[in-house]
Structure 1
Amino acid sequence: METRTTDVLVIGSGIAGLAAALGAVREGASVTIATKSTQPEGTSTWWAQGGVAVTRNDPAGFEEDIQAASSHTADHTAIEVLVKNANDAVRDVLVETLSVDFDSNGEMFDFAREAAHSTDRILHVDASTGKHIHVPFLNYLAEREEVTILDDTAALELIRHEGRVHGAMLERSGDVAPIYAGSTVLATGGIGDLYSRTTNPPGSTGDGIAMAALAGADISDMEYVQFHPTVYAGEDPFLLSEAVRGEGAVLRNGKGERFMSAVHKDAELAPRDVVARAIQHERESTGEVLLDVSSMPFEDEFPDLAERCAKHAVDWTSGISVAPAEHFLCGGITVDGHGRTTLDRLYAVGECARTGVHGANRLASTSLLEGLVWGLRAGSDAAEKEAQPIDPPELLTRDPELPGAFVHDKFVRLRRVMDDYVGLWRDPDELTRAQAGLRRLKGEVDAYTRTRTSRSLYELRNASVTALLVARGAAENEDSVGTHTLISDDKSNAGVISR
C-alpha cells in the first residue's frame, strides 16, 4: 500500500459508513472508504431483513415505542434526533437518491409492523431489505470521482497525537501504510465474532470499538448486547425476521404450546429481550421452540426466507426450530448527535457507536435508520477539517509468523468465555471469572502484537479488547434491565420476566 491523504476517511462500508461518505461528499470533501469486505455480503447491512422504521405522521408514538422497548433507558435527546430526521433522511437518500424499490400496495408503501411497534411504520423489500439498500448505495458512491473505495483493506491502528486523530494505519495483502485524513469516521459494525452463534457476518470483531478505546475515546453501555430471539437453531444459523411474527406467526414450545401470551401482553411482538429470554427458557424446559407459520402465506409473503429454509432442508410447514443468537450491540463508542467522539476529529456511526437511542434494548428496524441518520450528520460535520500528516505509529514485524492455529484457538477460547458467562443471562460471580479469563487472553495476544503485524492478529486483539469491555460493563452494572439480565443461581423465572 502507498501513503494516502484524504479529507474524510470512512472505515467500514455498511449503511452508516456509506451515509457518512455521502454526507461528506455533499459538502465538497474527498472521501476514502476502507473496508475489510470484498463483496457486499461482508457487511451487516447486506444481511438486514426487516426494514427501515420511519416516523410517518406520529413522532410521539415512535418516540414512545423506542423508550418502551429500551425499558425507558434510551437517551431522550438522541431519540429526538432519530425521529425528527427519519422521514427526511429516508426520503432523500433511499427513495429519491437511490430509488430503493420498497414494497408497496398499489401507489402506497406497504408499511409493516414488528415487535414492540405500536403501529405499521416499517418500509421493507420482502425480508431482505438490507441488500436492496446496500448494493445501490455502494454503486452510487463508486461512481463518484470524489470517492475512493479500498476493499479487502483493514484498519489496524488509529494515528493520533495529544487527543486528536489524524487517520489510520491500513493493511492490504500484507502491506501496511498510513492514510492521513482531516476526519476519521469509524463505521465498523458489530461484535458477532465474540459469540459462537450470531447473525453478523464473519469479521465482526469490534475493530472500531477496540481502536477507539485504545486511543483513549470514551466507551459506554457495552453490557447491552442484544440477542435476536428467532434465529434458525440448526447449523449455519440464519435470521427469521420479526416481520414474520408481525404477519401472524406464533411461537410454540416442545409440547406444542403457545407460550408468549403468558409472558407479555404483546405476546410474540414483545420487545426482543423479553422474547429471547422466554424462548431460551422454553428450550431448556421443553427441548425446542418452533416458529409456527402455518396460519399465514409464508412462501408468498417471505419468498427469500422460504428459499433459505429449503436450502437448509427445513420443512417450514411443520414449524422452524429457533433459538436466540447474538445480534446487535446497543452500546459502543460514545458519540453526540453528530457522531463526534470524545477524541478530536474522530467520529463513530452505526453499530460501533453508542448514540444513546437504543438504551438497554433496541427497537426492531431502527438500526438501518440510526446508521443512515447519524452517518449523514457525521459526514457533513467531518467534511470541514483538513488532513495534517504526523509521524505514524511503528507497527513491528520482526518475529516469526504466528503458530498455525494460534488465532483460531484463541477465538475458540474467547467465545467459550462469552457464551458461558456473558450471554443472555449473567451471574455476578461468573462475570468476575469472565474478566479474569479475558484479561489473561488479552495479555497473551498483546505479547504477540508488540512484534508482529497481521490482520488476523489485530482482529483477535480487537475482539479480546471488546470482549473485556463487554464483561467489565456487565460486571459494573448492578441493574438488571433490558438485554442485561442478572441472575444468581436460578434461571427458572428468567423466561417470564414481563413488563
Structure 2
Amino acid sequence: MAERVVVVGSGAAGLTAALTASKAGHDVILMTKGPLGESNSLYAQGGIAAALFDDDSVEAHIADTLAAGAGLSDPVSARVLCQAGPARIHELIALGAEFDRCPDGRLARGLEAAHSVPRVVHAGGDATGRAIIAALVRAVRASRIAVWEHCFARDLLVGDDSVTGIRVLRDGREHTLAASAVIIASGGAGQLYRHSTNPLGATGDGVALALRAGVRLIDAEFVQFHPTTLAVPGTPLISEAVRGEGAVLLDARGERFMLREHPDAELAPRDVVARAIARQMQSQGDVPVLLDARPLGDAVLRRRFPGFVALAAAHGLNPSEVPVPVTPAAHYWMGGVEVDDDGRTALRGLSAVGEAACTRAHGANRLASNSLLEALVTGHRAALALEQPSAATLPRAEGRPAGGHRAISRSELQQVMWQWVGLHRDTAGLASAQALLAEASVPVSDEHRVADLETANLLQLAREVVAAASDRTESIGAHHRSDADLSSRQPEREVSIAC
C-alpha cells in the first residue's frame, strides 16, 4: 500500500481520487492552487451524461461518444467511461448531491448535442458543477484527508524511473513532499487563449510538470471552443442548452446568420457554430454577435437557466428583453497527459485524471456532458489502481528545445494562440506561431512568483499544441485547418428538455 498519495487539484477528478484513495487506506494529501473546490468543475453548467434511464443503454452512450469523437476515440476507453457512469452518479447522490427532479421524483434529464436519447442529468438548472463540488468538498472535509490550500506544484521528484515526491510552494516557501504516488488532477490549460471559459487558474501546471518529468502529452491539437460565452471580461459560459431551448444567434444587424451556415442552424455541432460566430465577428469588425433568448420567455429562463439570468443581470442585461453579446471561447482540452484506462502514466507512481489526462475516449471532439463524467470515472479508477504497476507499454516523451530569450507576456501568448492556433488554423499561421514561440521565454524574477511560473507552464504547453496542430494537416473534429477539406460527418442535434 502506498505510504503517501499526493493529489494535485481539487476539481471533481481530484476530490474523487482523494476520497477513493483515502477510503482504500492510503495517507492522502490533497493540494489545490486556490481554495478547496475552485476548479473548472465548479463552473460546469450543462450536466453529466450517463445511461441511467430505461430507454437508454451503455451501448448507446458508447456509440454516441465514438461518433462525436470523429473516428479518433479509443473504443475500449469509451466503454470504460460510459459503463462506470451510473455508479458514479449514484455515489454522488449518496454523498448528498441534489440533482434536479421531475414532479414525480424521477431524475430530470436533458438531450444535448450528439446524444441519441436524453441522458444528461443536471442540478440547479445550470449549476451542476457547484452541486457536485459542494457534495465532494463536504465529504473531503469530513474525512481524514490532509488539505493543502493555496499551494502551487513546482515539479515532480523522480528517482530510479519512479516518482518519489513533489516540490511545492506554500505560504511563500518551498516544501518538498515525499510520496510514493502522485495523481495529477489539475485540469486543462484554458488560459492559453485570449477568450476562455476557464477560470484564471487553468494554466496547465500539472500537465507541464508531467511533461518535464518525461511523460508524453497526446492529442494536444484538439481544443474545443464553446460557441457562446458572454462578451464581458472573463467570458463566462452560457450553456448550449439555452440554444437547445430555442435561443437564436443574430448578427450586428439583428438578423439570424446560422440559417445559411448549416442545415441545423443554431443546433449544429458546437465546433461548426463556434467557427461561424468567429467568421461573423470578423466580418463585422470583431464585434460580438448576439444571443437572442427572448423566444424562451422570462418564466422559462428563470426556471431552467437561473445562472444565465443572474450572470446577465450582473452586467446590466435582461435576456428576456434584449439579446446579449456573445463570443466563442476556449472551453475544453481533449489532449493531455497520456494515460491508460486506469490513469497510469509511463512513469511509475504517476497518474493523471480528468481534463489533465488523455485516455483517448474523447477522440477529436468531446461529447457534450462527458467531461464531468470523465472526471468522476478517471479519479475513481486511478485511486483504485494505485497498487498496480505503471503503464510500462506507454512511450516516454522526447525532449523539446527550451526556447529562446525574447520575453513574452501572458497576454501576448494568449493573442498568438487565439490568432493562429484558435478556431481557424493554416500552415502559414501555425508556422508564424511556432517561430515566435520558439524564441519566446518567460523571465521569472522571483522563484516564488506563481504568476510567472504559470505563464512559463503555458508557454511550454503552447509549443506542444502548435507542434501537434502543425503535424495534423487535415481537418477533423475540433481541429480545423482552413487550408484543408473538412471531414464529412453527420449533423449533431442539440435539444434540451426538462424531464
Q: TM-score, normalised by structure 2?
A: 0.87
Cα gap change, 1:497 to 1:363, in 2 (>3 Å): closer
Q: Which residue of 2 aligns with 1:298?
A: 301
Cα gap change, 1:378 to 1:104, in 2 (>3 Å): same
The alignment partner of 1:290 has SS state of: strand
- Cα distance in 2 for partners of 1:269, 1:364 equals 13
Check conservation: 1:217, 1:343, Cα contact below 8 A: yes
Q: Deviation digits for residues 232-253 of structure 1, max 9, x if unmatched?
A: 1233321111121222222233
Check conservation: 1:79, 1:357, Cα contact below 8 A: yes
- Cα distance in 2 for partners of 1:454, 1:288 equals 35
Instruction: Using the TM superposition, give the Cα deviation of residue 436 of structure 1 relative to its aligned residue in structure 2, in angstroms.
Output: 1.8
Q: Deviation digits for residues 419-469 of structure 1, max 9, x if unmatched?
A: 111111111122122112112223x54xx58x9454233212211111111
- Cα distance in 2 for partners of 1:338, 1:208 equals 18
The AA in structure 1 aligned to 2:98 is D
Q: Is residue 21 from structure 1 mapped to residue 18 from structure 2 by the alignment?
A: yes
Output aligned runs, 1:246-265, within 5 Å: 246-265=244-263
Task: Name which of 455, 465, 490 aligns with 2:460.
Answer: 465
Check conservation: 1:24, 1:31, Cα contact below 8 A: yes
Check conservation: 1:52, 1:365, Cα contact below 8 A: yes
Q: Deviation digits for residues 286-341 of structure 1, max 9, x if unmatched?
A: 55432221222212221121011000112312222211001111001011110011
Q: Is residue 480 from structure 1 mapped to residue 475 from structure 2 by the alignment?
A: yes
Q: Is residue 274 from structure 1 mapped to residue 272 from structure 2 by the alignment?
A: yes
Instruction: Using the TM superposition, give the Cα deviation of residue 383 of structure 1 relative to its aligned residue in structure 2, in angstroms.
Output: 5.4
Cα gap change, 1:339 to 1:325, in 2 (>3 Å): same
Q: Is residue 456 from structure 1 mapped to residue 455 from structure 2 by the alignment?
A: no
Instruction: Using the TM superposition, give the Cα deviation of residue 360 of structure 1 relative to its aligned residue in structure 2, in angstroms.
Output: 1.1
- Cα distance in 1 for partners of 2:437, 2:367 equals 30
- Cα distance in 1 for partners of 2:361, 2:263 equals 24
Q: Which residue of 1 aligns with 2:193?
A: 195
Q: Which residue of 1 aligns with 2:79?
A: 80
Q: Deviation digits for residues 341-377 of structure 1, max 9, x if unmatched?
A: 1111100001110111111111111111000001000
Output aligned runs, 1:32-47, within 5 Å: 32-38=29-35, 40=37, 42-47=38-43
Check conservation: 1:11, 1:35, Cα contact below 8 A: yes
Q: Is residue 7 from structure 1 mapped to residue 11 from structure 2 by the alignment?
A: no
Cα gap change, 1:163 to 1:432, in 2 (>3 Å): farther
Q: Which residue of 2 aligns with 1:89?
A: 88
* Greater percentage in helix: 1
Instruction: Using the TM superposition, give the Cα deviation of residue 78 of structure 1 relative to its aligned residue in structure 2, in angstroms.
Output: 0.9
Instruction: Using the TM superposition, give the Cα deviation of residue 265 of structure 1 relative to its aligned residue in structure 2, in angstroms.
Output: 4.4
Instruction: Using the TM superposition, give the Cα deviation of residue 229 of structure 1 relative to its aligned residue in structure 2, in angstroms.
Output: 0.4
The alignment partner of 1:378 has SS state of: helix
- Return 176-185 or 312-321, whichever deviates more: 312-321
- Cα distance in 2 for partners of 1:84, 1:269 equals 28
Q: Which residue of 2 aligns with 1:243?
A: 241
RMSD: 2.3
Q: Is residue 53 from structure 1 mapped to residue 49 from structure 2 by the alignment?
A: yes
Q: Is residue 102 from structure 1 mapped to residue 108 from structure 2 by the alignment?
A: no
The AA in structure 1 aligned to 2:317 is V
Q: Deviation digits for residues 171-230 of structure 1, max 9, x if unmatched?
A: 112111111112100011111221121111112111111111111001100011111001
Q: Which residue of 2 aligns with 1:401?
A: none
The alignment partner of 2:385 has SS state of: helix
* Dislocated runs of 4+, deviation >6 Å: none
Cα gap change, 1:219 to 1:498, in 2 (>3 Å): same
Q: Which residue of 1 aligns with 2:148?
A: 150
The AA in structure 1 aligned to 2:289 is V
Q: Which residue of 1 aligns with 2:495?
A: none
Check conservation: 1:217, 1:333, Cα contact below 8 A: yes
Aligned identity (percent) is 37
- Cα distance in 2 for partners of 1:463, 1:201 equals 14
Q: Which residue of 2 aligns with 1:314?
A: 317
Q: Which residue of 1 aligns with 2:395?
A: none
Q: Which residue of 2 aligns with 1:210?
A: 208
Task: Name which of 342, 345, 350 aligns with 1:346.
Answer: 350
Structure 2: which 5+ runs fail to align? 390-405, 492-499
- Cα distance in 2 for partners of 1:269, 1:6 equals 51
- Cα distance in 2 for partners of 1:158, 1:365 equals 32
- Return 162-171 or 125-134, whichever deviates more: 162-171
- Cα distance in 2 for partners of 1:284, 1:456 equals 31
Instruction: Using the TM superposition, give the Cα deviation of residue 257 of structure 1 relative to its aligned residue in structure 2, in angstroms.
Output: 3.5
Check conservation: 2:34, 2:151, Cα contact below 8 A: yes
The alignment partner of 2:440 has SS state of: helix
Cα gap change, 1:253 to 1:117, in 2 (>3 Å): farther
The AA in structure 1 aligned to 2:152 is A
Instruction: Using the TM superposition, give the Cα deviation of residue 261 of structure 1 relative to its aligned residue in structure 2, in angstroms.
Output: 4.4
The AA in structure 1 aligned to 2:200 is P
Check conservation: 2:188, 2:336, Cα contact below 8 A: no
Instruction: Using the TM superposition, give the Cα deviation of residue 164 of structure 1 relative to its aligned residue in structure 2, in angstroms.
Output: 1.1
- Cα distance in 2 for partners of 1:245, 1:167 equals 47
Instruction: Using the TM superposition, give the Cα deviation of residue 280 of structure 1 relative to its aligned residue in structure 2, in angstroms.
Output: 1.5
- Cα distance in 2 for partners of 1:266, 1:368 equals 26
Cα gap change, 1:194 to 1:188, in 2 (>3 Å): same
The AA in structure 2 aligned to 1:83 is C
Check conservation: 2:173, 2:448, Cα contact below 8 A: no
Structure 1: which 5+ runs fail to align? 386-405
